[in-house]
Amino acid sequence: MKISVKKICCIGAGYVGGPTMTVMASKCPDLIFNVVDINKERISSWNNSDLSKLPIFEPGLKELISQTRNKNLFFSTDIKEAIESADIVFISVNTPTKTRGLGAGKSSDLTWVEASAREVARYSRGFTIVVEKSTLPVRTAEVIENILNSSETNSKREEISFSVLSNPEFLSEGTAIKDLENPDRVLIGGENKDAMDALSNIYKAWVPERKILFTNIWSSELAKLTSNAFLAQRISSINSISAICEVTGADVREVSRAIGTDSRIGSKFLDSGPGFGGSCFKKDILNLVYLAEYYDLKDVANFWEGVVNINNWHQRRISEIVIKKLYGTIKGKKIVVLGFAFKANTNDTRESAAIKICKDLIDEGANLIIHDPKVNPRQIENDLQIKQISEVNNEKDITLQNKFGQWRFSKSFDIFEGAHAVLVLTEWGEYKNIQWDVIEKKMVKPAWIFDSRSIVNAEEIKKSGLNLWRLGDGS
Ligand code: NAD
Ligand code: UGA
């Protein structure tokens, strides 16, 4: 039987809920999308008339928001009203790693998913399709179904019913709009064929049918964890090879190019960097590790845990190299850090390699000047759990020498005077065209440029007389 869909509710207006519903609204002008969140500040930022103040930065997002917002896309805190009128509810809330109790440090904290399911049970009317958009442990659909069918409701129990589907999201931050508009695939896991068709009909407005995959619900949940685990595994693999390159005289860029031309391996996700960050890779692998341990598959658990362990080791390796190259001590030395986001084109810093690396350098007594074009300094303060001395906007403000272990944020590039080193941690486009010959004159000699992203112009740096260390460059 064909299920009619007119209104969609998305619980969670974050990095997934916001862009996903915006793209859906732009592709399906006849459907109404209500995106709701408990975070009032976030919702008011989504409704800000100044589109530069949206809560997240994604290329192409503000253009789509201006086309759809308050037409068929609405952001609000009225969760009750949005659920009551919805034919489909997407659950798109955070699922961080548990910090205490059973499974702490590995399993997912389902507090927010459970709360969302209880809200759906309470306010929904008639038949509702409930879609897991968040990344969840395998068999969470069972938990959601239990809650939906047994918790308190405002309607008569016999008047409401649900079908739970898994529809994991594969977007990457920084390219979210592009990924959503042209996904490699859309995965729908479930049992109820009519509900699966209703969901796939939404995607069919812009996604070719051959890209819409149907699976059973557990395969869909596991495929999402596996996809992130495989991607992260490639990064840990190439980062481990970068260390071998440095001691053998090989160059990791050349090794990546050489192996990437093998069509069985492919060229993507072979860029050695400061270690993978982002809110999901680590948490999703640890979730997989927890699952394997739970089912007594210790060797499987160890295998995947190794991917996270190498990443931790690799991040520590970078700060150690900086310290060693600067004669074993960075106490009181000014180091310019270029980039704090976990990757370019996002303001997100969750699990960014920069957090651990900057903390290590501050612990060793360095004076860091941190530059990032999109990250808010308050966020950096929160991540480092160290207050910045004050905001630096020009060279004259920099009186940092001889003070012990501290950091400041700068929006400007006027920050190189008196620096002993520059450390590139995020591959922002603006770092590609720095005039190193001008900067060389301002730095304390011997001055070092540490490039963990292979984006600076190596020739220019060497020509200007600066010392260059590039990740995985043993040549
Ligand atoms: P996020 O923290 O940016 O957003 C989650 C939002 O949910 C928050 O704004 C929070 O206030 C809201 N929320 C929590 N409980 C709520 C409730 N009961 N009612 C209403 N709102 C509630 O998280 P995110 O990055 O958007 O990730 C969401 C999920 O998607 C996670 O499971 C994540 O693993 C997965 N995912 C994330 C990405 C990504 O690139 N960030 C990509 C694919 C999948
Ligand atoms: C990742 C996946 O790519 C998405 O498919 C998935 O939906 C998402 O996680 C999720 O589930 O949250 P994201 O974390 O946004 O997306 O960004 P990626 O491009 O995957 O980068 C993750 C980290 O790996 C970044 O720190 C990035 O700099 C690093 N990376 C990536 C490398 O070091 N080398 C590479 O070759 C690629």
Q: How many CA atoms lie within 13 A of 113 on its CB side?
A: 23
CA of 276 to the centre of ligand 2 (A): 7
Task: Confirm or reject: Cβ of 13 under 6 Å from ligand 1.
Answer: yes
Atom of ligand 1 nearest to the CA of 108: 32
For atom 15 of ligand 1, the residue with the nearest CA is 112
Answer yes or no: 10 catalytic.
Answer: no
Please report how the helices 377-384 and 353-363 are oriented relative to each other, as an axis angle in degrees rounded to 10: 70
For atom 19 of ligand 2, the residue with the nearest CA is 172
What is the per-residue pLDDT for 318?
Answer: 97
Task: Give the predicted TM-score (pTM) of the model.
Answer: 0.95
The three-class DSSP label of residue 404 is coil
Name every residue whose Cβ is closer than 8 Å to that of residue 30 and which is 6 or more positions away in sequence: 72
Name every residue whose Cβ is closer than 8 Å to that of residue 44 and which is 6 or more positions away in sequence: none
Mean pLDDT, 10 residues at a time, the chain of 475 residues: 95 98 98 98 98 96 98 98 98 96 94 97 97 95 95 89 98 97 98 98 98 97 98 98 98 98 98 97 97 97 98 97 97 97 96 97 96 96 91 49 77 95 97 95 97 95 95 93
Cis bond upstream, residue 446 (ω within 30): yes
Task: Confirm or reject: Cβ of 457 under 6 Å from ligand 2.
Answer: no
For atom 20 of ligand 2, the residue with the nearest CA is 172
Distance in angstroms (rounded) separating the CA atoms of residues 241 and 255: 9
Catalytic pick among 98, 224, 334, 343:
224
Catalytic pick among 119, 132, 169, 246:
169
Task: Confirm or reject: Cβ of 455 under 6 Å from ligand 2.
Answer: no
What single-letter DSSP state applies at residue 212?
Answer: E
Atom of ligand 2 nearest to the CA of 279: 12
Q: Token match 């805190």: residue? A: 77
Could you count the other beta carbons within 10 Å of the beta carbon of residue 351?
20
Answer yes or no: 169 catalytic.
Answer: yes
For atom 24 of ligand 2, the residue with the nearest CA is 276
Distance in angstroms (rounded) separating the CA atoms of residues 328 and 239: 23
Task: Confirm or reject: Cβ of 173 under 6 Å from ligand 2.
Answer: yes
What is the per-residue pLDDT for 1?
Answer: 85
Answer yes or no: 280 catalytic.
Answer: yes
Start-to-end CA distance of the chain, whole Å, equals 65
